[in-house]
Amino acid sequence: AQSVSQHNHHVILSEAASLELGCNYSYGGTVNLFWYVQYPGQHLQLLLKYFSGDPLVKGIKGFEAEFIKSKFSFNLRKPSVQWSDTAEYFCAASYSSASKIIFGSGTRLSIRP
């Protein structure tokens, strides 16, 4: 079955540190990948998405992600985090063979001011 794994459950960083959150997806044919963010008390918002083309995707708020097909990975990065990046981050995948989007379990990011 198709699945999405986020191995970091809780990441704690200081402001200005660099961020990389891991995301791996299972093989299932053509896949579209997403990162969503959920700020405390708010709804999920799309950070970025990959459908095809350049494997380095730039999103909002300085986030980017790299699609590495050989590693089935779509890691999220940000060079310098801010306190306002404190949130839960969800990686998600949608396969052309399935009519649903599959979410990872989420990574809670806490930023120390």
Partner 1 sequence: DSGVTQTPKHLITATGQRVTLRCSPRSGDLSVYWYQQSLDQGLQFLIQYYNGEERAKGNILERFSAQQFPDLHSELNLSSLELGDSALYFCASNKDGPTYNEQFFGPGTRLTVL
Site residues (CB under 8 A) for partner 1?
Answer: 32, 34, 36, 42-46, 49, 51, 90, 94, 96, 98-106
Spatial separation of the C-alpha atoms in residues 45 and 68, rounded to whole Å: 23
Spatial separation of the C-alpha atoms in residues 106 and 113, rounded to whole Å: 22
Residue nearer to partner 1 on the CB measure, 25 or 34 = 34
The length of the chain in residues reads 113
CB of 112 to partner 1, least distance (A): 23
CB of 77 to partner 1, least distance (A): 20
Instruction: Classify residue 96 by its DSSP letter.
Output: T
CB of 102 to partner 1, least distance (A): 7
Give 28: exposed, middle or buried? Use CB within 10 Å, 0-12, 13-18, 19+. Answer: middle
